[in-house]
Amino acid sequence: MIRKSVIIELKGMDMETLHRYIHEGIKEFIIPDNKVELHDHSLKIYQRKDGEIYLDNRVAGVYMDIKDGNELEKLNNFDNDVMLLLSFPDVKNLAAEKIKATLSNKKVVPVAYTIEELELYFNVLESGFDHVVFVADGYSEKHLNFIRKLNKVDKIELIERKVVKIKWLGMGERVCIDFVNRLHPGDGCLIGNFSRELYLVGPEIYENSFAPPRIFRVNSGAIHSYSLLPDGRTAYLSELRSGDSLAVANIDGTVRQEIIGRVKREFRSLIMVITEGDNAENSVILQNAESVYLYGRSKHIFVNHLKTGDLILAYKLNMPRHMGIPVNEGISEV
């Protein structure tokens, strides 16, 4: 699930900017009072008319400038389901803290004009506001990088899948991901052949007779595989580079962001692990090595000990992907 979200307000009706933010996973927009045709029903588009925003011809929010503490009382006059789009011209931090602490029953959404204000409002009183409007005059890499960092998944549901077949494939190019921080028992990267399901692949933290542990490494899979990014998008393993961030999940379902220090690709012997699915089989291709393992509910299972009938943990994705972004289309993967 997405913990925080940015609502982008476009100062002008710039379709290139709109589509760029959509590509980054933004789902809510405030646009000038004109019509725009978008066929993605997951988007929420508000129209701004002077000091109000409308959704389906109904008032969804009102803009207000909060200049001092005496103006807080009038916020109680609004219904709890109306967004209060608040700007703080002077004392931003203390004003936001006061409102966050005293108006928890209202839909307060601060309005930010800079990345610094965005960061401030998302971290007010530690937990911050859940939603912030960002007034965008175009876009920049600075804007996009902040939004990518913000939109991170922090909890997922892992399910069990039964292994129905293990197939030796021969030689192929596989990817090791080395992180700048150590990994721990229960950690892993979410990797898979198809966008409908990914598997929790564990790090090389266990000793064996021939190789020392690599507490920072996940021997993750073949280069074509999907991997989960911290914002819920996916990327091919072949696309990852030093300095990128990747989602690291734990068997309890918690997810955190970790920075990649190095990506190492080599040709190795590969196997495919195939599991049953809801409507189609799913699979992951891994190196056939004693240090590579998947997780069951309460144990890890090395791939050289894996057998049909074993239950392994997987993360079910709800929608197919285009450029790593969930899309509501009839995409078929086999």
Tell me whether strands 158-179 and 255-275 are parallel, antiparallel or unpaired.
antiparallel
Position 39 scores a pLDDT of 66
- Compute the mean pLDDT over every residue in the chain, rounded to the nearest whole number: 85
Q: C-alpha dihedral over 290, 162, 201, 237, to 10 degrees?
A: 110
- Spell out the residues 6+ positions from residue 290 whose beta carbon is closer than 8 angstroms to its own: 208, 210, 211, 302, 304
pLDDT tens-digit map of 203-252: 999 987 777 889 999 999 999 999 999 888 899 999 999 999 899 999 99
Architecture of domain 5-150: Alpha-Beta Barrel (3.20)
> Which SS3 state, helix, strand or coil, does residue 146 take?
helix
- Among 99-103, 211-215, 229-233, 316-320, the least confident range: 316-320
326: pLDDT strictly greater than 80 = no
Which tops the pLDDT comparison, 220 or 1? 220
Buried b (16+ CB within 10 A) or exposed e, 169-188: eeebebbbbbbeeebeebbb
Instruction: Find, among 202, 157, 191, 193, the residue nearest to 281 by Cα.
Output: 193
| 33 within 8 A of 19, measured Cβ to Cβ | no
Residue 152 to residue 114: CA distance in whole angstroms: 20
Domain range summary for the chain, segments of one domain joined by +: 5-150, 158-326
Read off the DSSP letter of residue 202: P
pLDDT tens-digit map of 119-170: 888 878 767 788 899 998 888 777 777 776 666 667 889 999 999 999 999 9
| DSSP calls for 263-315 | EEEEEEEEEEEEE--SSS-EEEEEE--TT-EEE-SSSEEETTT--TT-EEEEE
| 46 within 8 A of 61, measured Cβ to Cβ | yes
pLDDT tens-digit map of 246-274: 999 999 998 988 999 999 999 999 999 99
Q: Which stretch of DSSP H or E encloses residue 193?
A: strand 187-194
Position 50 scores a pLDDT of 85
Q: C-alpha dihedral over 305, 308, 309, 312, to 10 degrees?
A: 60
* pTM beyond 0.85, yes or no: no
Which tops the pLDDT comparison, 58 or 332? 58
175: pLDDT strictly greater than 90 = yes
Position 150 scores a pLDDT of 65
Architecture of domain 158-326: Beta Complex (2.170)
Tell me whether strands 83-87 and 107-112 are parallel, antiparallel or unpaired.
parallel
